[in-house]
């Protein structure tokens, strides 16, 4: 299990990136929506989709959920 969040600010391509706790690119508190603890990045992305329609996994901490 790991703690995830999603960035409130979209990337230039319009996606909101999901990060795992401890990532070098973990957003600042004011720039993130906390998603809670999930057993996989896939479940974290599903949760993130309730906030933002267009989400993506961070290439660094969620490579299995990253779409380039
Ligand atoms: Zn990340």
What does the pLDDT profile of the chain (68 residues) look like in tens digits? Answer: 999 999 999 999 999 999 999 999 999 999 999 999 999 999 999 999 999 999 999 999 999 999 98
Q: Which pLDDT belongs to residue 66?
A: 98
The Å distance, Cα 46 to ligand 1 centre, comes to 16
The Å distance, Cα 19 to ligand 1 centre, comes to 4
Instruction: Encode 45-56: b = buried (16+ Cβ within 10 Å), e = exposed.
Output: bebbeeebeebb
Ligand 1 (ion): residues with CB under 5 Å are 19, 23, 25, 58, 60-61
Q: Which pLDDT belongs to residue 58?
A: 98
Q: Which pLDDT belongs to residue 68?
A: 84
What global pTM score does this model have? 0.96
């Amino acid at each position: 299990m790991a703690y995830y969040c999603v960035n409130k600010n979209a990337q230039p391509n319009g996606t909101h990136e999901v990060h795992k706790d401890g990532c070098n690119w973990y957003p600042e508190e004011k720039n993130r929506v906390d998603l809670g603890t999930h057993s996989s990045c896939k479940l974290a992305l599903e949760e993130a989709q309730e906030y933002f329609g267009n989400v993506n996994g961070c290439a660094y901490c969620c490579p299995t959920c990253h779409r380039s």
